[in-house]
Amino acid sequence: MKEQESWREWDLSGLSVTQLRLDYAFSVHLWTLDRDLLVRFGTPFKFRPTSGGTLEIDPENPSTVVPALSVLHQPAASFRVSSADRCALQLADGSELSSEPHPEYESWESEGSGDLESASWLARIG
């Protein structure tokens, strides 16, 4: 019998995307003095802008990252992680960055502080 996927969600009200980092990963940092969340996408991930459609972003191919730069300075809504190692960062305008498990690498990780400390996760391989 297959186990049903469960989700855990954190409210990111009051946070905005303050920094984006690009190396061999794409990192999104949401920060205030009281709390912060860093989400690092280490493998290709999905970006769904408010204009519709879903784009695949590959951090190792910088030309694909350009559409995701639009999240900079945007207010955040929520961050969710699942028991199946998926994650979704939703912004207040409805756009979303999401990741699925990767067969060879940890596809994403998150690190939180303040009331978001429990949002610190590392996706499992597979």
Which pair of tokens denotes residue 38?
């860093």
* Residue 18 near residue 31, CB atoms below 8 Å: yes
* Residue 36 near residue 114, CB atoms below 8 Å: yes
Question: What is the reported pTM?
Answer: 0.94
| pLDDT digits 0-9 by tens, 67-126 | 999 999 999 999 999 999 999 999 999 999 999 999 999 999 999 999 999 999 999 987
Q: Which residue has the tokens 């639009």?
A: 70
One-letter amino acid at 86 equals: R
Q: Which residue has the tokens 């920060």?
A: 31
